[in-house]
Amino acid sequence: MSSQKRELQKKKREKAIRKAKTKKSIRNIFIGVAVLLLVAFIGYAIYYNTILLTRPISNYSEGLADDGTIKDIVVKDYVELCDYNAMEVNYNDLAPAKEEIDNQIDNILQNHKEYSTESGQVVELLDTINLNYVGKIDGVAFEGGSTPEGGTEIVVGEAGFIDDFEEQLVGKTTGSSFDIEVTFPEDYQNAEVAGKDAVFSITLNGIYVVPEFNDAFVKEYLSDYALTADAYRQYLEEEGFRSALKEYVQTYIANSCAVLQYPEKYVEDVMGITKYDDVSEYESMNEMYYMYLGEKIYSSFKDYVIASKGVASELEYEAYLRLQAQKAVAERMTIQAIYEDAGLTVTSEHLNKVLADKGSSMEYMADMEAMYGKGYIYQLAMKEAVIEYLMDNIKVIK
């Protein structure tokens, strides 16, 4: 081989080596970029889960001034107010029906019923009675078929006894003794008596007597509200109307006033406060279950939010938190905007109402401020002032 050919082959080899090195270098660059991207992705994931997930905030007044207003915003720039002074409603649309009032009175009377052993009182469906019974099959008493000494109390028609047992009590009188015949179902839980005929010897010991709703009853038990039966019915009607009216005005302003934008910082504060409440409930539930059952109900906070909030992951829980926070912030901004626009002030009556709703009073105001912060308490009182104003100024058509 001539020296010229050898030189040519050498150059070809060097060129091939340079080409191979270039390809390797490019490949290494791609690998390096891929590694950097992977590291960045992992770093982002770690950052997102450890930094960006909402942190619980225990200060209920976070983001609020002491007067209850949201810090660092001009609320009228965030809310377009409706004509809240133009509200009107038909009284009959909100007043409770006669049946609702009757049900409330019936519940009150049930709470004041008294046990009577006077003979001759007729048993009716849904009466609460005390009775003794001894059950026999083929003349022999069977296990579990008799009442203990002193009898047992049942609500006739709701005790869950076998078919035709309770029905045969209706129309009987207190102080009487009688027999009833029944047949146990074929699938009865006690196989020894399933499908068999039985005779129960019964004695009606007494009955709980529901008092009559009249002026005397109202004077004895309800004199803080009225002195006659008719006046108490009127009181219940007015209270029912006021309760429905309160809900109406809140729904009206929520649907009629428009949120233009959300203050992100305060939304995040409310998200943190909401999460703090959820974490507290999660820990409380676990402590209670562990105390009584020896094991926790939730293995992690993630399990808790999936089970209780209707979400599939903690990331979905974040979206849930934001949605709940935006709803709360929308309401609070609307309340604040009306409060400022109408020139309202918080009074001691408003503060008393807030504290009473939390089981406290003005006497313990300092303790409540230490627990919730002054801003949170005044924000709630601000809402009381606004709702009171709207209810007092709405046009009611009768």
Residue tagged 């601000």 (tokens): 382
Which DSSP helix (H) or strand (E) runs through 116? strand 114-116
DSSP for residue 146:
E
Residue 207 backbone phi and psi in degrees, to 5: -145, 150
Tens of pLDDT along the chain (398 residues)?
A: 555 555 555 555 555 445 545 544 554 554 454 445 444 444 444 444 434 689 999 999 999 999 999 999 999 999 999 999 999 999 999 999 999 999 999 999 999 999 999 999 999 999 999 999 999 999 999 998 999 989 999 999 999 999 999 999 999 999 999 999 999 999 998 999 999 999 999 999 999 999 999 999 999 999 999 999 999 999 999 999 999 999 999 999 999 999 999 999 999 999 999 999 999 999 999 999 999 999 999 999 999 999 999 999 989 999 999 999 999 999 999 999 999 999 999 999 999 999 999 999 989 899 999 999 999 999 999 999 999 999 999 999 99
pLDDT of residue 115: 96
d(CA 273, CA 262): 17
pLDDT of residue 41: 44
The architecture (CATH level 2) of 75-81+257-397 comes to Orthogonal Bundle (1.10)
d(CA 17, CA 34): 26
CA dihedral 244, 247, 248, 252 (to 10 degrees): 180
The angle that helices 374-393 and 314-341 make with each other, rounded to 10 degrees, is 60
CATH 3.60.21.10 at 114-209, yes or no: no
Alpha-carbon Rg for the chain in angstroms: 37
The helix/strand/coil state of 139 is: coil
The helix/strand/coil state of 63 is: coil
pLDDT of residue 22: 52
Which DSSP helix (H) or strand (E) runs through 135? strand 128-137
Whether the Cβ atoms of residue 145 and residue 135 lie closer than 8 Å to each other:
yes
Q: What is the pTM of this model?
A: 0.75
Cross-strand pairs, 203? 132, 177
Which DSSP helix (H) or strand (E) runs through 376? helix 374-393
